[in-house]
Amino acid sequence: MENVEKQLREEAKRLLADKKVDVIVGYEEGTLPLQTVPCFITNPDDAGKLVWNSFCSQNLAKYVHDIIHQHRESQVRVKPEDKTRKVVGVVARGCTTRSLVIHLQERQYDRDEVVIIGVPCTGFVAKRKVSTLVDGKEILEAAVNGDKISVRTTSGDKDVPLKDVIADNCLNCHFNNPVISDIMVGNEAPPRDVDREYDSVNKFENLPLEERWSYFTKEMEKCIRCYACRNTCPSCYCKICFVEQSQPAWVGTGDDPTDVQVFQIMRMFHMAGRCVDCGSCVEVCPMGVDLRNFLKKLDKDGFELFAHKAGESIDKPAPLSTFEMGDKEKFIFEPESSS
Amino acid sequence: MEKRLIKKDALSGIINKLSEQMLVYAPVKDEDNVLFKVLEKGMEPLADYSNTRNAPKNFFFPKTETMMRYMRTERGIELSGEGEGAPEMVLFGVRPCDARSFILLDKVFDQEKYKDPYYIDKREKTTIISLACVHPPYSTCFCTSVGGHPMSSEGADVVLTDLGDKYLAEFVTPKGEKLLEKMGDLSKADDAAEATKEELSKKSEEAITSHVAGREIKPWLDENFEHPFWDTIHQSCLACGTCTYLCPTCHCFDISDEVKGSDGKRIRTWDSCMYWLFTKETSGHNPRTSQKQRWRQRLMHKFKYFVDNFDAIACVGCGRCVMYCPVNIDIRKIVNDISKL
């Protein structure tokens, strides 16, 4: 991984020095253990700040979208001949590249506005998993050593197998290597345990309705509606989210359980065919809401009904924005019989 | 001030006994969060815990509060209030930083110019039992930099200090002393207990490793509303409400009407300066259109405006925003970076 980091810094520096990109979006060290921070590098001399390790948890595609769109907005009142473009370089692992593909398919920006530095991925560390393994004690230091992670807590040191703390979405990931890139760094990452991808969904699906509903309501009760899940999600880029619209107000602003559930249900359904299972929404949630279980079900449906994996390939159209003659229509005309 | 000793194994019983007589909220383990919950029969209040995930401000300033209800009838609009007001309750196990946050919130909601009846009603009927931090719970704690202390009694009615095999219970306010009557016979504290507390207090203060230049940056903030530094904080910010919602002192709110059919209610909900809607005006104009401006607002409100208005920093140094920010925007670093400018 150190080698990847070295190459990454060199490529970033070169891209900036050659003026191929205006900014590089990557990760840098944070102020807390187990944490890296999204960073925005414009000066080639700062490329040395970039890191690539098991603590790079966030999907950076969100920032690519934001930067390009903010720039475009700033250009609205500029004379046509003076308009500029902003080219964003981004450090992208598999799921990040899938989000970029979704953006491109949804015509959010042009292919030449983004330079993709692909990195192989072995999964990121889920902070909550580490915290649970050390009984919630404060983690003062953490370092990955081979297949272990050494953690120093207030009550002593502990070595934890890395595989026990890798985020759930990474464990069964099909796309730990970029699906699209301009520059690749490092060697291809070995495949993950992909056969068990839908194990947890299958198990959940088979529970009685009441149990599934009570699990859903229990998880939603934790939600404080800080919108961290929505705001970190690269697929959540609506200019004005439906929860913030007031004419009409689709959903109440308070903490009424129904309103919280409606927010989450609507957001999740908007993810149908668009969720790349990057795990960012789960990782950023301050309350530990299990959103993945539900999102993964939508992903499974997309796969089973349309053989579709979100953002898998730029040439493969998204099922919900495509019509094909062979598409199932029974659910429209005979909803009772198809359920 | 009354001072008593409580044997360690007796505390849980005493608190449970209180919960039979009135509403008691206590820190309880809920999956992998520690949250304040109503203490029900058979539940064990946590006394040995670091701090709760969320701040206890919601007990006086709920996330959503119905201010009034209205109904459209043939005779016109009928208005009604919301129930009979708050019940008597006890908030057990509040950390000193969070207890101190109530003093800061009082400055906003219970002051000469403006008295908030919703807040005051709940605040007056609640007795706060705090648990002194004999060891600072986190390395991110910085209460001493913003006017607090790990063993402070500010904001508490009763302070419990862990002396090893027993607690020293100090009944600081008349409200606290009233609670003592409900706690049964407790042995009086001796001078030795107080001496131990003194010693622990010193040690705990020394054990705090995070220091920020909370007061020192005020003159800079006074002068530098337009400074390039403000361009350096916000870029990675997700504009979520984690920092402000978990914060014990953030108190901005929004008021809106929710109407269903002919029934309506006016609710007050938490707002967050991190949200783009925060300062959006009815006209459509928004004086703070960028995340940069919103971040400056957050910093200025805590370390300048609140100081100007109330002579106190609107931060108690609990470190929640530091620990739970999804992108690790660290207010300690920001304040210290400013102090070096």
Contacts of A82 (CB under 8 A, 6+ apart): none
Cα–Cα distance for residue pair B39/B27, rounded to 1 Å: 9
Indicate whether B212 belongs to any domain.
Answer: no
Instruction: Please name the amino acid found at residue B330.
Output: D
Answer yes or no: do B25 and B118 share one domain: yes
Domain end, chosen from B174, B207, B240, is at B207
Domain end, chosen from B207, B231, B252, is at B207
* Contact predicate A208/A244, CB 8 Å: no
Cα–Cα distance for residue pair A120/A93, rounded to 1 Å: 6
User: Residue B38 — φ and ψ, nearest 5°?
Assistant: -65, 130
Answer yes or no: do B262 and B119 share one domain: no
For residue A38, whether the previous peptide bond is cis, meaning omega lies within 30 degrees of 0, is no
Secondary structure class of B39 (helix, strand, coil): coil
Answer yes or no: do B277 and B248 share one domain: yes
Answer yes or no: do B47 and B179 share one domain: yes
Answer yes or no: do B130 and B250 share one domain: no
Domain that holds residue B260: 218-339
Asked if B33 and A138 come within 8 Å (Cβ–Cβ), the reply is: no
Indicate whether B96 belongs to any domain.
Answer: yes
Answer yes or no: do B15 and B76 share one domain: yes
Indicate whether B257 belongs to any domain.
Answer: yes
Q: How many CB atoms lie within 10 A of CB A152?
A: 17
Question: Which of A67, A155, A227, A289 to mutate to test binding with chain B, by most B CBs within 10 Å of its CB?
Answer: A227
Asked if B63 and A253 come within 8 Å (Cβ–Cβ), the reply is: no
Asked if B242 and A286 come within 8 Å (Cβ–Cβ), the reply is: yes
Indicate whether B135 belongs to any domain.
Answer: yes
Cα–Cα distance for residue pair B29/B43, rounded to 1 Å: 10
Contacts of B188 (CB under 8 A, 6+ apart): B3, B4, B5
Interface of B with A in 258-317 (CB under 8 A): 258, 267, 269, 272, 275-277
Indicate whether B120 belongs to any domain.
Answer: yes
Round the CA-based radius of gyration of chain B to a whole number and report it: 22
Q: How many CB atoms lie within 10 A of CB B53?
A: 20
Cα–Cα distance for residue pair A293/A299, rounded to 1 Å: 10
Asked if A253 and B256 come within 8 Å (Cβ–Cβ), the reply is: yes
Answer yes or no: do B203 and B311 share one domain: no
Q: Which two tokens stand for residue A296?
A: 């993964």
Go through the domains of chain A in sequence order and give each one's CATH number: 2-126+166-328 (no CATH), 127-165 (2.40.50)
**Residues of A with CB below 8 A from B279's CB?**
none
Indicate whether B140 belongs to any domain.
Answer: yes
Indicate whether B213 belongs to any domain.
Answer: no
* Contact predicate B83/B127, CB 8 Å: no
Helix/strand/coil percent split, chain A, to 5: 45, 15, 45
Indicate whether B238 belongs to any domain.
Answer: yes
Answer yes or no: do B240 and B320 share one domain: yes
Whose tokens are 């670093």? That residue is: B333
Using CA coordinates, name the residue in chain B closest to A58. B327
Domain end, chosen from B181, B207, B233, is at B207
Q: What is the residue-wise DSSP string for A177-198?
A: S-SS-SEE-SPPPPP--GGGTT
Answer yes or no: do B197 and B301 share one domain: no
Vertex B156 angle, CA B151 and B157, to 5°: 125
Secondary structure class of A129 (helix, strand, coil): helix
Based on the structure, what is the number of domains in chain B?
A: 2
Answer yes or no: do B59 and B89 share one domain: yes
- Ordered per-residue pLDDT tens for chain B, 341 residues: 899 999 999 999 999 999 999 999 999 888 888 899 898 888 888 888 889 999 999 999 999 999 999 999 999 999 998 777 899 999 999 999 999 999 999 999 999 999 999 999 999 999 999 999 999 999 999 999 999 999 999 999 999 999 999 999 999 999 999 999 998 889 999 999 999 999 999 999 999 999 999 999 999 999 999 999 999 999 999 999 999 999 999 999 999 999 888 999 999 999 999 999 999 998 989 999 999 999 999 999 999 999 999 999 999 999 999 999 999 999 999 999 999 99
Answer yes or no: do B81 and B186 share one domain: yes
Contacts of B35 (CB under 8 A, 6+ apart): B27, B28, B52, B53, B54
Cα–Cα distance for residue pair B240/B238, rounded to 1 Å: 5
Answer yes or no: do B202 and B264 share one domain: no
